[in-house]
Structure 1
């Protein structure tokens, strides 16, 4: 009867990392890793949708990456813009950005960063929807590439 109890005790002592709760630093690191994976996945989705054909020729302005509060706000704006275009072509990218914005918002809250309310959508007329889609994809691509290059900013508010 004492043998199973001793075996259980020994197995628990040999694997302390499996039995303890993650520290705050480990949780933050895991969230950042998850965010960067979503960024990479979304860039692949953009590549599959466009095969990078036109996006390198489209000039877009992208906000600077300055910390979690700004990134959360920027992703919220991109999400709203993608929703306003709402087409089958952009649905996967919009879902990715929405997920990414939620992860960044969660990380910011975990780190006690101030978070703004989600921005409202700005109504825009879509005279040339195909051009608008490429412009939007270029905007998302540029922002995500910038975010990946400045991933250290995910550690500050």
Structure 2
């Protein structure tokens, strides 16, 4: 009987510690880890799509600078808009990945009290060269995510 009472007491005392929410610092670390994972998975998706396409023309893209969560969120919003073009329907999985990534970065920025700009509008112009647009968009996203992974420390600052 004493053993049962002791077990009941231990379970009642230990339960609040076991069911508490993670600390803010731990939540931020988990979110950063998730962002990095999504970026890596998206790069795998890009490589998979590239194997299905003919050899791409050489294209140079100007890359965004990665300075902190506010800019990263904005840049990912712009890339998400570009991926929603009718010419990039082949990239629907990558668009979903980038959209998810942008949402997590925005959420992390809000958690860290960073200023967040409104999401960029989804203006996509008519493109006379849809194949070129597809390659260019794919290259932009790939370069941005590679740069983000190299500068993942910027996910800790506004």
Q: Same fold by TM (over 0.5)?
A: yes
TM-score calculated relative to the size of structure 2: 0.88
Question: What's the offset of the Cα at 1:125?
Answer: 1.8
Question: What's the offset of the Cα at 1:30?
Answer: 0.2
Task: Measure, in 2, the Cα distance between the counterparts of 1:94 and 1:60.
Answer: 18
Count of residues in Structure 1 that have an aligned counterpart in Structure 2: 157
TM-score calculated relative to the size of structure 1: 0.88
3-state secondary structure, aligned to 1:112: coil
Q: Which residue of 2 aligns with 1:94?
A: 95
- Dislocated runs of 4+, deviation >4 Å: 11-17, 52-56
Question: What's the offset of the Cα at 1:3?
Answer: 3.2
Task: Measure, in 1, the Cα distance between the counterparts of 2:87 and 2:7.
Answer: 58
Across the aligned residues of Structure 1 and Structure 2, the Cα RMSD in angstroms comes to 2.5
Unmatched 5+ residue regions in structure 2?
A: none
Q: Which residue of 1 aligns with 2:111?
A: 110
Distance 1:85 1:62, change over 3 A: farther
CA contact (8 A) 1:72 1:105 kept: yes
Q: Which residue of 2 aligns with 1:136?
A: 137
CA contact (8 A) 1:60 1:139 kept: yes
Distance 1:62 1:6, change over 3 A: same
CA contact (8 A) 2:81 2:124 kept: no
Larger displacement relative to structure 2 (89-98 or 49-58)? 49-58
Alignment of 1:2-17 (within 5 A): 3-10=3-10
Task: Measure, in 2, the Cα distance between the counterparts of 1:68 and 1:153.
Answer: 7
3-state secondary structure, aligned to 1:57: coil
Spell out, residue by residue over 1:35-70, the C-alpha distance to the aligned partner (whole angstroms, 9 max, x if none).
Answer: 000000000000000039756932111110000000
Task: Measure, in 1, the Cα distance between the counterparts of 2:122 and 2:91.
Answer: 16
Larger displacement relative to structure 2 (96-105 or 16-25)? 16-25
Task: Measure, in 1, the Cα distance between the counterparts of 2:99 and 2:150.
Answer: 20
